[in-house]
């Protein structure tokens, strides 16, 4: 057996038919390489975090069957452990953004095969004040977009609901003043959006910035100013690459290990797809803090 003990967490509030099918597809594959597989459904908000804190020290592997929210909860339960176990992600949510950065197949049966036969790679984690995130932190348009997603749209349109909310939010968003410190370099200005990226995808869309790496010990900060509603719309609706073209001068980009974002008033901040906290915030990059199973691929 490749693993002695593993904790398998899934969203207990998901549809019974969908969960039964997902477990039926993945558990036989996982069991072939795990001696003792403990399967536990989540029952409430933050239950995944609690399960990881409770069982994490005693297992070799935590398998997360769920979307970005479930992964986020688990990361917050594991990141504080002295010796966190390996992580495996089976994408079963609306967007599954960080799993896309890891090039995990979005078919959970294939993903389970990749997990068992894959390799463990080190991954950076963003510590945001006293919380953690894996994919991104953002304030301004991105947080308001999360706030404005209509549950009926999410149920009927899935990942498209994010785009619909973003376009709707753009019509009413106002610029905000900020002060930013990146590794001791300070800058100020006005923006519609500040985003700190560790992963490459948001709302299933690959970000058009080539600098982003989830294992380089740096976070990438992008600032879009108040003059750029056209740019924002293109970022959300089109496949463009921001490099040496007309948009490259419209976005401020910084990278660093220690990032402080100050705003005049407290503003909602999105972490990994949900509004969990507020700006101002301080972000520290924890290089190679966790290890995640991925398909056997080369990551730069």
Which residues are tagged catalytic?
Answer: 274
Strands 61-66 and 3-11, by their bridges, are: parallel
Listed residue (255, 243, 181) closest to 213, CA to CA: 255
Which residues are registered as beta bridge partners of 91?
66
The token duo for 28 is 């036989």
Q: What is the DSSP string of 139-204?
A: EEHHHHHHHH--HHHHHHHTTHHHHHHHHHHHTT---EEEEEEETTEEEEEEESEEEEESSSEETT
Distance CA 141, CA 120 (A): 35
CA angle (183 as vertex; 178, 188 as ends), nearest 5: 20
What distance lies between CA 275 and its chain's CA centroid?
12
* Contact (CB, 8 A) for 146 and 273: yes
């Amino acid at each position: 057996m490749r693993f002695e003990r593993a904790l398998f967490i899934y969203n207990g509030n998901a549809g019974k038919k969908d969960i039964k099918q997902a477990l039926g597809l993945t558990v036989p594959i996982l069991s072939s390489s795990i001696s003792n597989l403990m399967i536990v459904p989540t029952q409430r908000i933050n239950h995944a975090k609690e399960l990881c804190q409770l069982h994490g020290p005693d297992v070799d592997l935590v398998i997360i069957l769920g979307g970005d929210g479930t992964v986020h909860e688990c990361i917050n339960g594991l990141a504080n452990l002295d010796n966190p176990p390996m992580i495996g992600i089976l994408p079963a949510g609306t967007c599954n953004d960080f799993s896309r950065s890891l090039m995990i197949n979005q078919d959970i049966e294939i993903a389970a095969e990749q997990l068992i036969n894959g390799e463990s790679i080190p991954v950076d984690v963003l510590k945001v004040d006293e919380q953690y995130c894996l994919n991104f932190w953002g304030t301004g348009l991105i947080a308001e977009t999360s706030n404005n997603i209509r549950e009926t749209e999410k149920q009927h349109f899935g990942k498209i609901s994010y785009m619909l909310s973003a376009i709707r939010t753009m019509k009413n968003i106002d610029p905000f003043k900020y002060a930013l410190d990146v590794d001791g370099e300070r800058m100020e200005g006005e923006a519609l959006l500040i985003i700190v990226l560790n992963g490459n995808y948001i709302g299933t869309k690959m970000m058009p910035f080539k600098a982003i790496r989830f294992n380089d010990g740096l976070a990438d900060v992008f600032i879009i100013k108040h003059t750029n509603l056209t740019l924002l719309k293109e970022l959300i609706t089109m496949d463009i690459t921001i490099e040496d073209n007309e948009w490259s001068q419209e976005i401020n980009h910084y990278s660093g290990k220690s990032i402080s974002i100050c705003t005049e008033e407290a503003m909602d901040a999105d972490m990994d797809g949900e509004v969990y906290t507020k700006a101002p915030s301080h972000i520290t990059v924890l290089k190679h803090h966790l290890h995640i199973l991925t398909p056997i691929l080369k990551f730069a």
